[in-house]
A and B are shown apart, each in its own frame.
Chain A
Amino acid sequence: LAKTTQPISMDSYEGQEVNITCSHNNIATNDYITWYQQFPSQGPRFIIQGYKTKVTNEVASLFIPADRKSSTLSLPRVSLSDTAVYYCLVGPSNQAGTALIFGKGTTLSVSS
């Protein structure tokens, strides 16, 4: 299973773009990269998922270089409500019996 490494914490101000990078050097061919957001006292929730290049949805963008050894979650124009812990998860999409292991996540603090 691919191990992930993220910065422990990041600080930003409202209106700025935030980029959180996740390193996954031993990612496997059939692994997908999924990002989750967790607010205090809540369970994590899905933000975005990708396999290669770029994926964009209404919340974020996910950039994955050709070698797929890292990925970057981009949050455009953050607000105070984006203060949360962000987790990068790497794992196969169609393989049964997979233990999905989370890293320690990145705590994003947004100030006004």
Chain B
Amino acid sequence: NAGVTQTPKFRVLKTGQSMTLLCAQDMNHEYMYWYRQDPGMGLRLIHYSVGEGTTAKGEVPDGYNVSRLKKQNFLLGLESAAPSQTSVYFCASQVAGANVLTFGAGSRLTVL
């Protein structure tokens, strides 16, 4: 039981490049979330999903797209990376009916 696994853990991109962050959970959780964390800013919600095939915008969705084609996976995409998207990205999952999040270890993204 690995919990929430994020790949990759580190990535360096050039401005304008695209990439996808993968979040996988093996706990059969219904809800999944993507957050970004910048120094002094706490955790900010990008997008979230309440079930397979369903996604919704969070606080800072611009510049990101997401997909939840399978219940266990939540993908975060950057179509054209910008330096402002340099951050640590955290994925979390939550079982329906319990307000407790399980977080992954994070993915550190640097955009040059």
Please give the residue numbers on chain A whose beta carbons come within 8 Å of chain B beta carbons, in ascending order: 32, 34, 36, 41-46, 49, 87, 89, 91-94, 96-97, 99-105
Min CB gap B39→A, angstroms: 11
Specify which chain A residues have a CB less than 8 angstroms from the CB of B103 in the assembled complex: 43-45
Min CB gap B63→A, angstroms: 18
Considering the complex, give the chain B residue whose CB is closest to the CB of A107. B40
A34 vs B44: C-alpha distance in the bound complex, in angstroms?
17
Within 8 A of A (CB), among B79-104: 90, 92, 94, 96-104
A8 vs B105: C-alpha distance in the bound complex, in angstroms?
23
Interface string of B22-48 (1 = CB under 8 A from A): 000000001101010000111111001
Known: A100-B33, A102-B42. A44 touches B96 (CB 8 A): no
A109 vs B88: C-alpha distance in the bound complex, in angstroms?
22
Min CB gap A49→B, angstroms: 6
Min CB gap B24→A, angstroms: 14
Min CB gap B56→A, angstroms: 7
A34 vs B101: C-alpha distance in the bound complex, in angstroms?
10
Specify which chain A residues have a CB less than 8 angstroms from the CB of B35 in the assembled complex: 102
A42 vs B56: C-alpha distance in the bound complex, in angstroms?
25
Tell me, yes or no, whether B78 is within 8 Å of chain A by CB.
Answer: no
Min CB gap A82→B, angstroms: 19
Please give the residue numbers on chain B whose beta carbons come within 8 Å of chain A beta carbons, in ascending order: 4, 30-31, 33, 35, 40-45, 48, 50-51, 56, 58-59, 90, 92, 94, 96-106
Known: A36-B101, A91-B99. A44 touches B58 (CB 8 A): no
A87 vs B37: C-alpha distance in the bound complex, in angstroms?
13
Contact indicator B50/A97 (Cβ below 8 Å): yes
Known: A49-B100, A93-B99. A99 touches B45 (CB 8 A): yes
Contact indicator A104/B42 (Cβ below 8 Å): yes
Contact indicator B40/A104 (Cβ below 8 Å): yes
Specify which chain A residues have a CB less than 8 angstroms from the CB of B31 in the assembled complex: 96
Contact indicator B106/A49 (Cβ below 8 Å): no
Contact indicator A93/B97 (Cβ below 8 Å): yes
